[in-house]
Amino acid sequence: MNTKNKFRFASIIIFSLLLNITLKAQNYDEALIGEYTLPELLVTQNKKEVTTVEQWEKVRRPEILKLFEDHVYGQVPEDFDNIRFKVTHQDKKAMDGKATLKQVAITVERNRNAVTINLVMFVPNKVKKPVPVFLVINHRGMKTMDATRQNKDGFWPAEEVIEAGYAIAGFDVTDVAPDNKDKFAQGILEELYPEQLEMENGMRALGAWGWCASRAIDYFEKDKLIDAAKVISVGHSRGGKASLWHGAQDKRVAIAVSNESGNSGAALSRRNFGETVERITQTFPHWFCPNYRQYGGNEDKLPVDQHMLLALMAPHAVYVASAAGDLWADPKGQFLALKEALPVFELYGIRDTLPDEMPEVNRQIINSNTGFHNREGQHNMTPYDWQQFIRFANAYFKL
Ligand code: GTR
């Protein structure tokens, strides 16, 4: 080994050791979680109990939304001067005639600056229109959503979704906020909403990705092939955090699907299992508003926990998917958050129930407005997960 290689070898060893030490610092032991008290879902900041849909919608829901804005994800500005949709490519005989492919450039302008989002979409040909659509907030790049279908990827299994009678769409998050702590602003933040960058509760990457999904829905509302009242916002992991926040913000989302969104997604932060607020805000500071950092190692002070985010989907639907090998995302913490969210669905007369213990691996739970599964295997979004999403959507839309 020459000196250069020796140095490289030594650096790899030191790096792995350090990584190991840091990872060990995360807790994976149920016995070490300790006691925690979740913030009250149905008690207002004025200590009034919420017992009706009206109190929830007028007081508590806006309060919770604002708390998530101010302390976790930042605001989501909605104003812009202009939005334009241009179908840049269309093929009515895609997938051997089974689907229509549309590629749409969505251009949004504000204060004379513009950003363009590139939406890819397949719509099934044989089904009565308009159709429901799975919209993926995709952080894995366009290669996973190949319009030519030469490259097929289980992360975005378009053929299977078309076969099931749904449209599938997606965009690359890079179009609006690159997933990089030094470059995330090179999209809508610098171009359209620079003032957000100055604010402690300003929009950051996750909020920008959800904002982008809302612009896709703006397009669906204009496309006769799509049923814009049946949009399913899907994201995996960091994308899942964004899809939950998107669904909470945008009432046009019928179902929010969180696939292994974990910490700051579907998992309860106070459980201190797997990834923590401290760790996530250090590694991915660009995902959240700066205010969130103060809660690292200080979760008890957070005025929210993630069950409240899931509850914001009521009376629409939320689906939480986990993987048994993905302890980093805390499957049990995700399950418990969903269970803790149920009282808000109940306010609407939706009597969904969940068992006290997490269901066994690979057993799906389909309630009327909530669903869950914990599949075997590792961190990923797979065709198996998609089959469960489709079953849940079929039940929810009564298809
Ligand atoms: C991890 C991160 C998780 C999750 C994941 C992903 O490194 O700690 O919160 O978002 O990346 O997006 O795959």
Maximum pairwise Cα distance, the chain = 73
Q: How far apart are CA 56 and CA 69, in angstroms?
A: 18
CA-wise closest residue to 134 among 143, 145, 118: 145
The DSSP output letter for 204 is -
The number of C-alpha atoms within 13 Å of 48 and in the hemisphere containing its C-beta is 10
Half-sphere exposure of 336 (CA within 13 A, CB side): 18
Enter the pTM of the model: 0.94
Residue whose CA is at the smallest distance from ligand 1 atom 8: 280
Asked if residue 199 lies in contact with residue 74, where contact means CB atoms within 8 angstroms, the answer is: yes
| 3-state SS class at 371 | strand
| Cα–chain center distance at 187 | 19
Ligand 1 atom closest to Cα of 279?
8
Residue 240 CA to ligand 1 center (angstroms) comes to 10
Residue 258 CB less than 6 A away from ligand 1: no
Residue 279 Cβ inside 6 Å of ligand 1? The answer reads no
Atom of ligand 1 nearest to the CA of 265: 9
Q: Catalytic annotation on 379? A: yes
Ligand 1 centre from 187 Cα, in Å?
Answer: 21
Report the distance separating Cα 307 and Cα 122, nearest Å. Answer: 33
CA dihedral 236, 237, 238, 241 (to 10 degrees): 90
CB-side exposure of 268: number of CA atoms within 13 Å? 20
pLDDT at 20: 47
Question: In the prediction, which pLDDT does 338 show?
Answer: 99
Mean pLDDT of the chain: 95
- pLDDT tens by residue, 85-135: 999 999 999 999 999 999 999 999 999 999 999 999 999 999 999 999 999
pLDDT tens per residue, range 157-202: 999 999 999 999 999 999 999 999 999 999 999 999 999 999 999 9
H helix or E strand, kind and range, residue 112? none
237 lines ligand 1 (CB under 6 A): yes
